[in-house]
Structure 1
C-alpha cells in the first residue's frame, strides 16, 4: 500500500509514489488499536489479510489532480502557489493540506509472480466521520476535465454505507493482473457534508487462495477527505502572482 504521510493527526494528506509488495510490513492491516475503530462498509470475507498477497499496489494522484481542491488551515498569504501534479504530495505535506470535496486516486495493481491474480472486488472501510474542517479551500486549477478509465469507481463518503460504484462507461471488476500485465483502478471519493477518514480494500483470488489487501497511506493511516461547502475558496490564476477569491464559491 502506498502514499505519503498524513501530518498533524491526519491533518494533511499527500499521496506517495512508492510500491510495497504484499509481504512488506506497511502492506499489513492497520494496527489493532486503530482497527477497532474501523467500521466495514462492504464484504470482507477473505482469508488472507494482506501479509502475503501476490500483488502490489502503487497509489498516485489521478492525472486530473490539477482539478482538485484542498482545505488548509492557513491564510492565502501563507500558502505557496499550486504545484505541478507530480509535486502535489510534497506541496500538500508542507502546508498540512487535506483533500477537499473529493480525492482522486489511481491504483496501479501488479502481480508479484508468474501466476495470474484476479481482482474480484473493491470495498471501503470508514475509520472516522466528523464535521467538515473549518479551513480555507484552495483550488488547484481554474478548470479541468477528463475521460473515464476502464476500471473506474465513484465513492460517496456521505452515504449510510459507502461503497465504490462503477463509473458510467467503465467495466469495473473483476479483472486479471500478473507481473507483466498490471491494471490501473481509478477511485474518486467525494464528500459534501463531512470530514471522512477511510481505507480501501481490494479482494483478490489466485488458484485456491483468496484474500483482501488493505490500501491506505504509507504509514498505515487512512486516506482523508473533507467537505468544502461554505468555506472561502481561493484560486491562483495562471498568470497571477498570488491567491485571490475564486468567482466559483462553494
Structure 2
C-alpha cells in the first residue's frame, strides 16, 4: 500500500539531489499562536451566549419578592384553595369620601324595615363600591387542600408597603353594621401595622360551639378533608397603611409563597382622628327616619 505523500515533506528523488520547494504558507497558517488565541476567544463567546440563552429560558419572569410587584404562584398551580375576604372589623368605623345622603347602603337589597345587619361579603363589596377605608381591618382567610396530599402552611408574614401616611382626619365616619362579637374562627391573629417589624401574633379564641381554643402559631397543615380558617385583625396604630400577606407553603416536594391578595392590589387600613367627626349608622341597625339609608348616631 502506498502512503499519501505530504507535499511539505522532503523526500529523496533520483538524480542529482535538489530540495523540493515548499509552497508559500498563508498568513493564517504562519501565525499559530494568534490562531490558537482567537480560537479560544471564539469558544468562550459561544459558551457565554449558550449560557445566557439557557438562563433566560429557565429563569421565571417577574420581580423578586420584596422588590416591586410581588410574585405568586398561579391559582391553578396551588395544591390548596384560598378564599380571601377583607372588610373592616365589627364595631369599627369606615372613612368614605361621600355625604351621608349620597352614600349607598351596604345591603344588596335595601329593605328599610329590616334589622338584619349586612353579611361579610356584602360589606366587602360595599367597601369596593364606595372606596371605603376601614379604621381596623379584618381579613378572613379560608384554606383547604385540593387533594388527599397534606399541605404544610409554614409561615404567614406581613409586608407594609412604604410610604406610610398619617392618620386620616375624618369629617364623617360610617358604621355599616353594629354589634360586636361576631362568630369567631379557631385561628386568630392580630398584627400592628405601624410596628417596626409587623407580624401576625396568635391569639386565643373560641370555635362556633363556644369552646375555648388556645393561641396557636404556625405551621399548620390542610388537606381536602381538613381545612383551616384564619382571622387576621389589622390595627393601623397611627398610620394610613397599605399592606399584603405572604403565605409560605410546602407539599409533596413542592414549595412556594402565595401573595395575598393575588391580583397585585393591596389591603388598606387607616387610623382616624375623630375629634370633630360626625358618626352615621346604617339603616338596618335601628332604622332611620323616612327613606334615609344612614342616620346620625
Distance 1:108 1:198 in 2: 19
1:159 CA displacement:
0.7
Higher share in helix:
2
Match for residue 9 of structure 1? none
Q: SS in structure 2 opposite 1:170? A: coil
Q: Which runs of 5+ in 1 are unaligned?
A: 1-30, 40-47
Call closer, same or farther: CA 1:147–1:72 in 2, change over 3 Å.
same
Match for residue 192 of structure 2? 156
Distance 2:237 2:295 in 1: 23
Higher relative contact order (CA 8 A, sep 6+): 1
Corresponding position: 1:141 with 2:165 = no
Q: SS in structure 2 opposite 1:153? A: strand
Q: TM-score, normalised by structure 1?
A: 0.71
Corresponding position: 1:107 with 2:141 = yes
Match for residue 220 of structure 1? 264
Q: Is the 8 A contact 2:191 2:199 kept in 1?
A: yes
Call closer, same or farther: CA 1:211–1:195 in 2, change over 3 Å.
same
- The total of aligned residue pairs comes to 205
Question: For the pair shown, which has the larger CA radius of gyration, 1 or 2?
Answer: 2
Match for residue 286 of structure 2? 238
Match for residue 201 of structure 2? 165
Match for residue 50 of structure 1? 73
Q: Which runs of 5+ in 2 are unaligned?
A: 1-61, 108-117, 205-213
Q: Is the 8 A contact 1:38 1:126 kept in 2?
A: no
Distance 1:117 1:93 in 2: 32
1:147 CA displacement:
5.8
Q: Is the 8 A contact 2:106 2:122 kept in 1?
A: no
1:89-133: CA deviation from partner (whole Å, max 9, x where unpaired): 332222221222x11121111112321101121111112321233
Distance 1:215 1:94 in 2: 20
* RMSD of aligned Cα (Å): 2.8
Match for residue 19 of structure 1? none
Q: SS in structure 1 opposite 2:126? A: helix
Q: Is the 8 A contact 1:130 1:195 kept in 2?
A: yes
